[in-house]
Amino acid sequence: MTTKALIEQIHKKKSFLCIGLDTDMDKIPTYLLSEDDPIFSFNKAIIDATHKYAVAYKPNIAFYEAYGIKGWKSLKKTIEYINHNYPEIFTIADAKRGDIGNTSAMYAKAFFQELAFDSVTVAPYMGKDSVEPFLEFPNKHTIMLALTSNEGAFDFQTLKTNEQELYKTVIEKSKSWKNSDQLMYVVGATKAEYLGEIRKIIPDSFLLVPGVGAQGGRLEEVCKYGMNKDVGLLINSSRAIIYASETSNFAEIAAAKAEVIQGQMAEQLESL
């Protein structure tokens, strides 16, 4: 999907909500466990109920890998279901990959070709040649960890190297990489106060912002510092939406949660 198509969808739906499909067998309603593929059944119900309010879905690959072959099958069915039924939706494989070049090329093939995601998250620790293979795929996007939402972000990412914080150096360097216009960046909603500084380095890039809801990040603050003329934000919420209820009408309740967030996003878009 092109960035232009993503922006159009955001304006059409008045939403920049990404729903995280962190689907955990221990958390889904127990009556689903007797189904053939409980993870897919749960995802399908959530997607059908919430797609009006969301522009992106982000399955976190760990939640699928944890169940081995069955989990991979559920993941494949989920991405195929979205691509077939809701082709306007932007899809993110949250895999946090990155390795030496020929290995990264295989990760890229797995998520962009075999599974046909629009984007994949990568960790930048191994540098340029570990990220560039992901950037070889036209109209696919590579979402690089910049400043993450967790406490451990302060262990390395904010340490000063060459007079500035490491995360700033990482973002700056990545701008010189081949096809860097296909890069997006992860910035945690819990780090909203850093967004002003980040926007000075990458005013035009899209940011994936996880950490609202269960981790305590605030939508208004993220928009205040992070929004650009094209919106430039995909704000993710996983647990606070998909596990809003354990009852049989879990999908409706998830949709109601998503609708509230979409309403707040529509207000923010009015100020653009």
| Helix (H) or strand (E) segment spanning residue 220 | helix 219-226
Residues in the site for ligand OMP, rule: CB under 6 A? 20, 22, 60, 94, 121, 148-150, 186, 188, 210-211, 213-215, 236-240
**Structure tokens of 246?**
């354990």
H/E/C letters for each residue in 4-46?
Answer: HHHHHHHHHHCCCEEEEECCCCCCCCHHHHHCCCHHHHHHHHH
Catalytic-role residue among 73, 96, 109, 224: 96
- Residue (125 or 272) nearer to ligand OMP, CB: 125
Other CB atoms closer than 10 Å to residue 48's CB: what's the count?
14
The minimum distance between CB 240 and ligand OMP, in angstroms, equals 6
User: In angstroms, what is the minimal distance from the CB of 124 to ligand OMP?
Assistant: 12
How far apart are the C-alpha atoms of 195 and 10, rounded to whole Å? 20
Between 43 and 149, whose beta carbon lies closer to ligand OMP?
149
Quote the CA–CA distance of 246 and 122 in Å, as a whole number. Answer: 32
Using CA of residue 70, residue 76, residue 80, residue 83, what is the dihedral sign?
positive
Nearer to ligand OMP, 11 or 123 (CB): 123
CB of 59: closest distance to ligand OMP in angstroms? 9
- Ramachandran class of 98: left when φ > 0, alpha when ψ lies in -120 to 50, beta otherwise: left
134/123 Cα distance (integer angstroms): 12
Q: Is residue 96 annotated as part of the catalytic site, yes or no?
A: yes
Q: To 10 degrees, what angle do helices 38-50 and 68-85 make?
A: 30
Distance in Å, CB of 36 to ligand OMP, minimum: 25
Using the minimum distance from each CB to ligand OMP, give the nearer residue, 180 or 215. 215
- Cβ proximity to ligand OMP: between 22 and 165 the closer is 22
What is the smallest separation between the CB atom of 252 and ligand OMP, expressed in angstroms?
20
For the four alpha carbons of 16, 22, 27 and 33, in that order, the dihedral sign comes to positive
Strands 17-21 and 56-59: parallel
Neighbour count for residue 126 (Cβ, 10 Å): 15
CB-nearer residue toward ligand OMP: 51 or 191: 191
CA 215 to the chain's CA centroid = 15
| Minimal distance, residue 66 CB to ligand OMP, in Å | 13
* Positions marked active-site: 96
